[in-house]
Amino acid sequence: MTFSPALEERFAKLLTSYPAGRTRSAVVPMLLYAQDELGWVSRELIEEVARRTGVTAVQVDEVIGYYSMLRRHPIGKHLVQVCTNICCMVVGGQDLFEHASKTLGVGHKGTTTDGLFTLEEVECMGACSWAPAIQVGYDFHHQVTPERFDRLIEGLRNAEAETRKV
Amino acid sequence: MADLVTFTIDGRQVQAAPRTLLITAAKQAGIEIPAFCYYDGFSLQAACRMCLVEIEKTPKLQVACTTPVTEGMVVRTDSPQVAAARKGMLELLLTNHPLDCPVCDKGGECELQDMVFRYGAGESRFVETKQHVDERQWSPVVFYDKPRCILCYRCVRVCDEGLGVGALGVGDRGSASEIIPNRGDHLECDECGACIDICPVGALTSGTYRYQTRPWEMDHVGTICTFCSNGCKTTLGVRNGEITRANNRDKSGVNGEFLCVKGRYGFDFNHHPERLTAPLVRVNGKLAPASWAQALATVGKKFAEVKQRGGKFGVIGSNHTTNEENYYLQNFARQALGTSNIDHRRTGDVATLIDALHGHAGALATTADLYTTPAALIIGSDLSQQHPFLAWQLRANFRHHQAKVFAITSGPIREDRYAAKTMRAAEGEELTAVESFREHLAQQKSLVILFGDSIKGDAVRKLVAFGDSLGIPVSYVPLVDYSNSRGASDMGVLPDLLPGYHGVREAGLEPGLAYDAILSATDLDALYVVQENPFAKTPLASTGAFVVVQDLFLTETAERADVVLPAASAYEKAGTVTNVCGEVQKLKAGAKTMGAKTDLEIMGLISKEMGVSIGIWKHDTVFAEVRKSVPGYNVALPVVETGGAAPTFPVNGRVPLEDRPDLISSDRNTLFLSGTLGRYSKMLTSVLEYPGKLYGQPVETELEMKEAQNT
């Protein structure tokens, strides 16, 4: 399995970042970086990471089962995560999630038919001071109201339409 | 040795070595601390929390399985607080555990069941519905029932650390956690079943045993596995004369609890529908069932007639029959038949090694030595495939004592992963390659060399010379294939050697025909084959010879026979066998097959029919004779009688053998093959891995080879 040159370079660096004989430490970062590039963790990727880090595939499987941020299935282009934990909830997090669900037309872990968005209800993302918070990909959005949420989605949809036109 | 640590446990002052874990120290003091996840010999897990104990000056209960004893420590394992904690732990373990003990295979020998009985946690405060997940089949051998699993990780550790396979893991987390197999929905592994055996509950169950019987309904018969040469003790669970399972939970025998797929599941050949249950005699060109009296009379008459007219006999012995039978067979050949044309299929060069080792004391390693030796060198064997128990010993030795393992093989082997040094060398070139290890080997305190069939004849002498030149104590294991290959050699089932490696000339005899010459001779009058299948590979050149075959099945050889006598298997008789390391162990009859007789009895009856007496055909009488007359076999009777393994020390002198390296060839069995016998085990042939791979290469089965010949 081959990756982009940038990712290959990252992998090469990772394998030398740990004490000798501890290449298994690279399993989690490798999976995360590869997931960013591929969108999900495929069987092929599991075998590849196992091979490169010198562990068995089942040990990589264990890691994926443990960390919820590693996904075994492809998702939409943008992962929209809405926090409904206590701090966000008391200032409308739950309503925001329901609103998001309505706007996108999908429920928890659902992907829109155009393949653009996947919605997820998540636990605390450490942005309690700016609740309610959501995360789109790696970007945080603070004090999100239903209106701001819609504008954000609209913006992403338009941006996508632009790129398709080109 | 460092000073002992003194500590107090349940009001008693006891001592233990420093750094001993509390759970072990307590055990030494005769106090049991219950645990599910802790398992002697494997890495620590501290997952089940059953071993909580009270330690003075420590505010909370501590786990005894990871706490080392310290000077002045005051421990209580019997306080009400500890009992309450254990009861609480059990209640949690039972959250989703179904109460299906009455149908569970483990019921009656379940560690969880025992604990619940002891701490009375049978009632639960949980009112929620138990999570249910359907049982899954991972291989013909392994089934997994998730709700029963208590996630002790024993199976994961035994597979990874013990077997070096690592086919199991733990997937998901929290209450969804479960054991996962390495291929998503199924297993691809050694199929050894160690995970099932080590499971403290009934979460992992065995394909052959499940729902067959209950533990208390069986007789538990400890005998020696009849497949490979490692001589593992396998405890047969026998009900109504039929073997329903094999394991070694009592850790008796040289192998402790280790068994491979053959030892644990291969026993089903014993009640294969094609087992011969009546003698067959050729009438008008066709084999037809006959009575024992008829068949024996036919054989006796013919043998006596051939002997009287000075005809030519050939005798082929077995790699599976007992020492007594082998001893008796060579007596039968040399005395009753008056022939020296006796041989067996040689799978390793034991005789040359013993000759080469003249003047060396203690140069034969035992299976226990493999666990303690500081260094080992493997030459020309895919040890994990061909000698799984020896590989297990070395792996445990590396794990516990950091043993240095070296290997020279023609392809990749499992030992590569932890070996100090490994090297690829084509067969026959190993001895050149070994020179490059010289420096490293000479630095070791002592060394055990295990060598396969590529080292034979002169190469064995060169290897011993190499060992001598290292300047350190070196001992050897000549790897042979089958359960009593070593015994066949020791008992003189050879054309040029008598029992105990005495030359036949000492007895005023001339060496007879060897294995290949017996088969290729065109003037043989009678051939007597005991539990061996030579015609699978080589047809008999003497087309007119009268052939008598004793076997379990109608093999290619038996099909050609004039008289076929149904023989009892190793699981149906008493006697002793000698394993690859020369350790003598006792068989114990477990099962019965109606109509079959032991080879010893058949030989005795044939000689009686012939009107010659070669002694009583009772195994203990013959064994007494073996102990008296075979050098090295004067083993301690109490050891053998109580199911132990007695090491044998062969003659320490020259062996007047005829060098025939061309006759020595291993069958290259993998974990899932065992010559002809393995073909009759449904379990072995049904696993996905059958026939398996040696050195990473697929292996041809005996059957495939034959088919290829026919086309």
Structural domain contains residue A84: yes
Place of tokens 């008008």: B284
Does A148 lie in the same domain as A108?
yes
- The answer to whether the CB of B602 falls within 8 A of the CB of B290 is no
Does A153 lie in the same domain as A128?
yes
Does A92 lie in the same domain as A43?
no
Task: Determine, for residues A57 and B182 on separate chains, whether the beta-carbon distance falls below 8 Å.
Answer: yes
| CA separation for the pair B225, B237 (Å, rounded) | 13
Cα end-to-end distance, chain A, whole Å = 30
Instruction: Give the closest residue to B216 by CA, choosing from B196, B239, B199.
Output: B239
Answer with the one of B271, B302, B322 that is the final residue of a domain: B271
Instruction: Evaluate if residue B93 carries a pLDDT over 60.
Output: yes
CB proximity B167 to A under 8 Å: yes
Amino acid residing at B434: V
| CA separation for the pair B605, B667 (Å, rounded) | 32
Best residue of B172, B189, B195, B418 to probe chain A, by most A CBs closer than 10 Å: B172
Does B450 lie in the same domain as B372?
yes
Answer with the one of B271, B305, B324 that is the final residue of a domain: B271
Instruction: Evaluate if residue B534 carries a pLDDT over 60.
Output: yes
| CA separation for the pair B431, B425 (Å, rounded) | 9
CB proximity B163 to A under 8 Å: no
pLDDT score recorded for residue B89? 93
Task: Determine, for residues A56 and B173 on separate chains, whether the beta-carbon distance falls below 8 Å.
Answer: no
Instruction: Give the Å distances, CA to CA, from A31 to A40, B101, B178.
Output: 9, 42, 22
Tell me the per-residue pLDDT of B20-43, one tens digit each, with 9 for 90 and over: 999 999 999 999 999 999 999 999
When pLDDT is cut at 50, 70 and 90, the band that residue B1 belongs to is low
Does B89 lie in the same domain as B151?
no
Task: Determine, for residues B168 and A56 on separate chains, whether the beta-carbon distance falls below 8 Å.
Answer: no
Instruction: Evaluate if residue B408 carries a pLDDT over 90.
Output: yes
Q: Is B74 exposed, middle or buried (0-12, 13-18, 19+ CB in 10 A)?
A: middle
Does B209 lie in the same domain as B84?
no
- The answer to whether the CB of B197 falls within 8 A of the CB of B249 is yes
Instruction: For chains A and B, count residue pairs whose Cβ atoms are closer than 8 Å.
Output: 30
Task: Determine, for residues A66 and B172 on separate chains, whether the beta-carbon distance falls below 8 Å.
Answer: yes
| CA separation for the pair B447, B407 (Å, rounded) | 12
Task: Determine, for residues A58 and B173 on separate chains, whether the beta-carbon distance falls below 8 Å.
Answer: no
Tell me the per-residue pLDDT of B472-500, one tens digit each, with 9 for 90 and over: 999 999 999 999 999 999 999 999 999 99
Does ipTM top 0.90? no
Structural domain contains residue B163: yes
Q: Which of B166, B170, B172 sits opposite A56 (nearest CB)?
A: B166
Does B241 lie in the same domain as B374?
no
Name residues whose C-beta falls within 8 Å of residue B604's C-beta, 6 or more positions apart in sequence. B328, B614, B616, B617
Structural domain contains residue A88: yes
Does B137 lie in the same domain as B239?
yes
Name residues whose C-beta falls within 8 Å of residue B229's C-beta, 6 or more positions apart in sequence. B347, B387, B479, B480, B481, B482, B483, B484, B485, B486, B579, B580
Does A87 lie in the same domain as A45?
no
Structural domain contains residue A24: yes
- The answer to whether the CB of B480 falls within 8 A of the CB of B506 is no
pLDDT score recorded for residue B2? 67
Does B192 lie in the same domain as B52?
no
Place of tokens 């064997």: B381
Does B149 lie in the same domain as B85?
no
Q: What is the DSSP string of A25-87?
A: GGHHHHHHHHHHHHSS--HHHHHHHHHHHTS-HHHHHHHHHH-TTS-SS---SEEEEEE-SHH
Answer with the one of A66, A92, A109 that is the final residue of a domain: A66
List residues in chain A touching B: CB distance below 8 A. Answer: 43, 56-59, 61-62, 65-66
pLDDT score recorded for residue B651? 73
Tell me the per-residue pLDDT of B424-472, one tens digit each, with 9 for 90 and over: 999 999 999 999 999 999 999 999 999 999 999 999 999 999 999 999 9
| CA separation for the pair B643, B583 (Å, rounded) | 12
Q: What is the DSSP string of B243-292?
A: EEEEE-TT--STTTT---HHHHHGGGGGG-TT---S-EEEETTEEEE--H
Tell me the per-residue pLDDT of B215-262, one tens digit each, with 9 for 90 and over: 999 999 999 999 999 999 999 999 998 999 999 998 989 999 999 999
Does A89 lie in the same domain as A10?
no
Tell me the per-residue pLDDT of A51-66, one tens digit each, with 9 for 90 and over: 999 999 999 999 999 9
Cα A160 off chain centre by: 19
DSSP secondary structure letter of residue B182: T
Task: Tell me the pLDDT of chain B averaged across its residues.
Answer: 94
What CATH number is associated with residue B39?
3.10.20.740
Instruction: Evaluate if residue B301 carries a pLDDT over 70.
Output: yes
Instruction: Give the closest residue to B646 by CA, choosing from B254, B234, B236, B362.
Output: B254
Does A143 lie in the same domain as A118?
yes
pLDDT score recorded for residue B120? 82
Task: Determine, for residues A65 and B172 on separate chains, whether the beta-carbon distance falls below 8 Å.
Answer: yes
CA dihedral A68, A69, A74, A76 (to 10 degrees): 120
Tell me the per-residue pLDDT of B354-369, one tens digit each, with 9 for 90 and over: 999 998 988 999 999 9
Structural domain contains residue B136: yes
What CATH number is associated with residue B164?
3.30.70.20
Distance from CA of A66 to the nearest CA of B (A): 5
Q: Would you tell me how many other CB atoms lie within 10 Å of the CB of residue B76?
A: 17
CB proximity B172 to A under 8 Å: yes
pTM: 0.93
Task: Determine, for residues A61 and B173 on separate chains, whether the beta-carbon distance falls below 8 Å.
Answer: no
Residues of chain B found within 8 Å of residue A56, distances taken between Cβ atoms:
160, 166-167, 169, 182
Instruction: Evaluate if residue A112 carries a pLDDT over 60.
Output: yes
Nearest CA in chain A to B160: A56
Residues of chain A found within 8 Å of residue B169, distances taken between Cβ atoms:
56, 58-59, 61-62
Place of tokens 């000759």: B355
Structural domain contains residue A17: yes
When pLDDT is cut at 50, 70 and 90, the band that residue B582 belongs to is very high
CB proximity B175 to A under 8 Å: no
**H/E stretch holding B479:** none
Does B260 lie in the same domain as B209?
yes
Q: Tell me how long chain B is.
A: 711
Answer with the one of A21, A39, A66 that is the final residue of a domain: A66
Question: How large a percentage of chain B has pLDDT more than 90?
Answer: 91
Structural domain contains residue A131: yes
Instruction: Evaluate if residue A166 carries a pLDDT over 80.
Output: no
Does A160 lie in the same domain as A123?
yes
Place of tokens 């000073």: B3
Q: Both tokens of residue B357?
A: 């080792």
pLDDT score recorded for residue B220? 95
Does A95 lie in the same domain as A153?
yes
Instruction: Evaluate if residue B699 carries a pLDDT over 60.
Output: yes
Does B234 lie in the same domain as B122?
yes
Buried b / exposed e along B5-30 (16+ C-beta atoms within 10 A): bebebeeeebebeeebbbbbbbbeee
Does A159 lie in the same domain as A138?
yes
Higher pLDDT, B698 or B585: B585
Residues of chain B found within 8 Å of residue A58, distances taken between Cβ atoms:
166-169, 180-182
When pLDDT is cut at 50, 70 and 90, the band that residue A13 belongs to is very high
Relative to beta strand B546-551, strand B563-566 is: parallel
Does B138 lie in the same domain as B73?
no
Total count of domains within chain A: 2
Answer with the one of B478, B498, B530 that is the final residue of a domain: B478
The parent domain of residue A147 ranges over 78-165
What CATH number is associated with residue A34?
1.10.10.1590
Does A149 lie in the same domain as A83?
yes
Does A97 lie in the same domain as A59?
no
| CA separation for the pair B443, B471 (Å, rounded) | 9
pLDDT score recorded for residue B652? 75
Does A82 lie in the same domain as A27?
no
Structural domain contains residue A73: no
Structural domain contains residue B644: no
pLDDT score recorded for residue A164? 84
Task: Determine, for residues A58 and B180 on separate chains, whether the beta-carbon distance falls below 8 Å.
Answer: yes
Task: Tell me the pLDDT of chain A averaged across its residues.
Answer: 94
Structural domain contains residue A71: no
The parent domain of residue B454 ranges over 350-478
Does B127 lie in the same domain as B238?
yes
Total count of domains within chain B: 3
| Mean pLDDT to the nearest integer, A140-145 | 96
When pLDDT is cut at 50, 70 and 90, the band that residue B711 belongs to is low
Answer with the one of A27, A44, A66 that is the final residue of a domain: A66
Question: How large a percentage of chain B has pLDDT more than 70?
Answer: 99
Does B246 lie in the same domain as B125?
yes
Higher pLDDT, B290 or B703: B290
Instruction: Give the closest residue to B101 by CA, choosing from B77, B80, B122.
Output: B122
